[in-house]
């Protein structure tokens, strides 16, 4: 943790002052950045997909689009990747618009 205390608006903020979830974030990114995150995402439900999935989604979608361009059907792609045909169509649609780069 790089900044245990932060002077903001004349107040000193330390880890102990933070709500437990912000404390966890601050331990990883520092108090100042935890506060910045709170200002952007505070009072919102924030879902973070599993890291491995998040890192691989774009690559997977590019692969699906490539295979579709090579003639694979929506049904075969849906089965292979464990997705619905509707979602495969959405991926192909984004690929056609050049949004999978």
Do 61 and 91 belong to one domain?
A: yes
pLDDT of res. 72: 98
46: in domain: no
**How many structural domains are present in the chain?**
2
Residues 51-101 pLDDT 10s: 888 889 999 999 999 999 999 999 999 999 999 999 999 999 999 999 998
Per-residue pLDDT band for 37 (boundaries 50, 70, 90) equals: very high
| DSSP characters over 13-30 | EEGGGS-HHHHHHHHHH-
Same domain, 31 and 57: no
State which residues form the domain around 55: 51-96
Is 1's pLDDT higher than 50? no
Local confidence band at 9 (pLDDT 50, 70, 90 cut-offs): low
Q: Are residues 58 and 87 in the same domain?
A: yes
pTM of the model: 0.55
């Amino acid at each position: 943790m790089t900044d245990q205390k932060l002077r903001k608006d004349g107040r000193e903020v330390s880890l102990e002052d933070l709500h437990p979830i912000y404390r966890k974030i601050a331990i990883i990114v520092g108090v100042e950045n935890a506060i910045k995150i709170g200002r952007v995402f505070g009072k919102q439900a924030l879902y973070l997909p599993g890291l491995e999935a998040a890192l691989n989604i774009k690559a997977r979608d590019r692969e699906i689009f490539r295979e579709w361009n090579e003639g694979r059907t929506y049904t075969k792609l849906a089965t292979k990747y464990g997705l619905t045909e509707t979602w495969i169509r959405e991926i192909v649609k984004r690929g056609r618009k050049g949004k999978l780069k």
